[in-house]
Structure 1
């Protein structure tokens, strides 16, 4: 009798384990980077060499889970925190432990996935059309991180592929009384986005529209709170992938006299020489429309950035990387090779002085687990 009960318990436990799973995962990225034309105060600049985390990919750890509930449906969750390997800190300084993702939802292979919580904003999906994969020096630089925000109170739907087509939509609530578009301090206001993708063996096309409002419910800074139109394409030619994209940004609530629109273009390629060795490169260009700038807004101007990179996989989970970039600014522009804040005085001395060029390089190791 005891042996029989033990067998039933073993079968029950096996059945329960087969219906649910939790995975611990993460990325550890560390290395060195060099940056020229770093401001040191009083109009002077200098070069800097430092140890740095997350140049090639964001260091992070997380928990990913799914429980099957029958009928092809499963309850899913994802908790993910950013981390800095150089300092050992995790989360954010404001105490948000799961700074990147904290969400739960329902998934069905036929109907798609619906989740709620904190999540990467839909504009992050541009990484798949960026030859530099939204590394530290990539498509994020000349739009001041506009395409990599993270939003709270997020409702997201992702469809399965229907004949090569797929849909991705997000809606972020401000959660404030007295104004539906308002947001909490240090958070965005009501924001939203929708994306359509078509993919086959030869190419991928993606179109996107999104809006990010500030805490006052306004689109008041072209590189921070604005509306975005995006179109991009990949062409797959065996070991070579060609990539190009265009973004138009506008901020209609910007104060009078300040620049309120910008256009961003890029083109580049990824080439895998061997299964282990790959090279990538891209040219990025931004043009800010007419208008002045101030401490937190970029003025009319333009900049071009040139980036080359390489990765070498020493195993399935570990790679070595190296990247170099150079940005050339128009006389009034101060864009950096990295995704720094806009404006002339926005807590960011890594932007060069207006009109100056800047060069950056980094190398390191990236391990996934």
Structure 2
């Protein structure tokens, strides 16, 4: 009897040990972020939906995602042995104010990948990801908040990418490489109107040291209608999702961070170029030059103050615009912060850029001010991460 009990105890111990090892080799993490606040903006166009604006007014709005996208997701890893790991990530956005998720049936509209990782050889992923142009996030003083580096290029810096293959290298002597390649899935390699996405691709190289960080990036997004690096606008509201230089183009970007104790200085230059553009009306650019710079002061471990300037200049009568903005955040805990941003956009005579990353056009539905007019806004909110 005693012998049988010893064997049972040994078997139980072995089972518990196996279970602990298996648990250590595989894990799944649920995570998310909720962002909500109140927003005031003036210079907001008014008039019938889908028609040219007939006037302008101011607006108070309950808003989700001004400081950062509200999202939820899960990611996991399985140890395959020999230093290799299987990895996956699923992530979708939603509106905190309404509870609604992304449209178009995209439950995981931001991220849906599976792949392999190795500390020595890097990470290879397949699936849907944030497009590589989002690599400006690390160098934007406001971290791609709603009024920052995407605003003056009408969302060109923050799309997602499907049918994607990506590779992230390990860091070697301070350098690392990241690349993406997204297939059109059409019979024409670049796209021919039979699929919702044209071919997309890009790469960047980053050098990081204790004092500074620099990144050089190239990317391109092709028009799914014909595979070109350009498009034709709807003259009223720019269509759904934006197009032309703001949607289909090449982008060359050089960025830097400088770390000076409590201060971080950031800046970037982007050259956005098209080809094959035909039929564009005056004010619809084929090239854009986009720059920004800013300073973050980490005044205390909990409080940060930020000031930044963003500028864009377009050809073909598109004019130029500048956003001046200040703001900051205060961490109530490691996971909860309060945020505030004040911004104004100043347009030249022919430009009509808004604070938000609106489509090109002058319709009331775009939120753009009238050409030559300014727009000013204030946002205050709370963000919690889990």
> Aligned residue pairs: how many?
358
The residue that corresponds to 1:295 in the other structure is none
Give the 5 Å matches for 1:254-293.
Answer: 254-256=277-279, 258=281, 259-289=285-315, 291=316
Report if aligned partners of 1:187, 1:214 keep a CA contact under 8 Å in 2. Answer: no
Please say if 1:4 is aligned against 2:13.
no
> 1:202 is matched with which residue: 211, 220, 227?
211
Aligned residue for 2:139? 129
**TM-score, L = length of structure 2:** 0.90
1:36 to 27, 42, 46: 42
Q: Does 1:182 align with 2:188?
A: no
Counterpart Cα distance in 2 of 1:320 and 1:257? 43
Which position in structure 1 is the counterpart of 2:385?
A: 368
Matching residue within 65, 72, 75 for 1:61:
72
CA positional deviation for 1:203: 0.4
Partner Cα separation in structure 1 for residue 362 and residue 229 of structure 2: 20
1:187, distance to aligned residue in structure 2 (A)? 3.3
How many angstroms apart in 1 are the aligned matches of 2:197 and 2:321? 27
CA separation in 1, counterparts of 2:123 and 2:331? 32
In structure 1, distance between residues paired with 2:92 and 2:263:
33
Q: CA deviation at 1:257?
A: 5.0
Name the SS of the counterpart of 1:3 in structure 2: helix
1:349 CA displacement: 3.1
Residue 310 of structure 1: aligned partner: 328
Match of 1:152 in 2: 162
CA contact (8 A) 1:38 1:349 kept: no
CA contact (8 A) 2:185 2:195 kept: no
In structure 2, distance between residues paired with 1:208 and 1:133: 17
Q: 2:171 aligns with which of 157, 161, 164?
A: 161
Contact 2:184–2:195 (CA under 8 A) maintained in structure 1: no
Residue aligning to 1:348: 365
Contact 2:30 2:75 in 1 (8 A): yes
When Rg is computed on C-alpha atoms for both structures, the one with the higher figure is 2
Cα deviation, residue 94, structure 1: 1.0
Cα distance, 1:2 vs. partner? Answer: 2.7
Give me the whole-angstrom Cα distance separating, in 1, the residues matched to 2:14 and 2:318: 73
| CA deviation map 1:280-306 (0-9, x unaligned) | 1111110001x2xxxxxxx52101110
For residue 188 of structure 1, report the CA deviation from its aligned partner.
Answer: 2.6
The whole-number CA distance in structure 1 between the counterparts of 2:193 and 2:303 is 46
Taking the aligned partners of 2:356 and 2:141, their CA distance within structure 1 comes to: 15
Q: Mark the CA change 1:306 to 1:315 in structure 2 (over 3 Å): closer, same or farther.
A: same
The SS at the match of 1:269 is strand
TM-score if structure 1 supplies the norm length? 0.94
Q: Which residue of 2 aligns with 1:225?
A: 248
1:52 equivalent to 2:63? Answer yes
Where do 5+ consecutive residues of structure 2 fail to align? 1-6, 48-52, 231-243
Q: Is the 8 A contact 2:360 2:366 kept in 1?
A: no
Question: By how many angstroms is 1:344 displaced?
Answer: 3.2
State the distance in 2 between where 1:267 and 1:366 align: 25
- How far, CA to CA, are the matches of 1:268 and 1:320 in structure 2? 20
SS in 2 for 1:339: coil
1:154-211 deviation digits (Å, cap 9, x = unpaired)? 110011110000101000001112x111177783300100100001000001000100
Counterparts in 2 of 1:52 and 1:304: CA distance versus 1, 3 Å: same
